[in-house]
Chains A and B, each alone.
Chain A
């Protein structure tokens, strides 16, 4: 018997894949952007089901909010909606289908992957061990979430282990902001 959260996860996954297919098949760029918003929203809900509530909220705020608004703004600024089909010619269709088959085909076996198998591969044990005893970081993360809350649990590794990358991120954002202004101003 599946739990309600599992059923919701499968429904959201199917919805995400359908919206992704819509994103690459819609002729109108605005419709494609809306399909991508659907994918990102369902991914945010899947993150919540996977016990990553903070990432889910950030996904809605940053991806579905900021980045997609930027995309829609540029699409409407350039007035790109009424165009004929922009699909490439047939050899690239074959290459695209081949890439999809080449990536998804071998990875179809992943659907049966479980935490127990992951634990046995990490520890090198022959039998599938209990993931909670072999991989202690997962239950420790749940414990930290219970003790310090959703945001507090992720703040601890972010500001201790990953402090230097976090600070470098601010330099990256500064460079990106300055670069975007400079490139958009200049005639190429």
Chain B
């Protein structure tokens, strides 16, 4: 039940996350948009697990673990960059640019 609406909501949330990554310059907000995209994919997994069994829910479990690890490491990187540059603005993070 509710397969179509949940797939649609998942697509909209994913697109919002992509747009946020593109239009924002604050590194923390960009990270939150990545989390939003992961959440959107989780909704797809859960809605399809009604028909394909519990493997989808196990996969959501793994996605959440990876998201937690990614948030910890990513925020540590942001902290290190902030100490170096006194800013989390992505336009200042161009040391890799040639």
Contacts and interface: CB of A to CB of B under 8 A. Distances in A.
Nearest to A3: B1
B22 A52 contact: no
- Interface of B (DSSP majority class): helix
Contacts of B16: 17, 20-21, 23-24, 100
A82 interface: no
Counting contact residues on chain B (CB < 8 A from A), the size range is: 35 or more
- Interface of A (DSSP majority class): helix
Contacts of A55: 42, 46, 57, 60-61
Contacts, number: 251
A157 to B, nearest CB: 5
A110 B8 contact: yes
Given A6-B2, A103-B15, 7 more contacts: A17-B9, A29-B28, A52-B57, A71-B28, A99-B18, A103-B14, A111-B8
Interface of A: 6, 9-10, 13, 16-17, 20-21, 23-24, 29, 32-33, 36, 39-40, 43, 46-47, 49-52, 54-55, 58-59, 62-63, 66-67, 70-71, 74-75, 77-78, 80, 83, 86-88, 92-93, 95-97, 99-100, 103-104, 107-108, 110-115, 118-119, 131, 135, 137-138, 140-141, 144, 153-154, 156-158, 161-162, 165, 169, 172-173, 175-177, 179-181, 183-184, 186-188
14 contacts: A20-B12, A23-B29, A50-B2, A58-B61, A70-B71, A110-B4, A110-B7, A113-B3, A115-B3, A118-B48, A157-B55, A181-B76, A184-B79, A188-B80
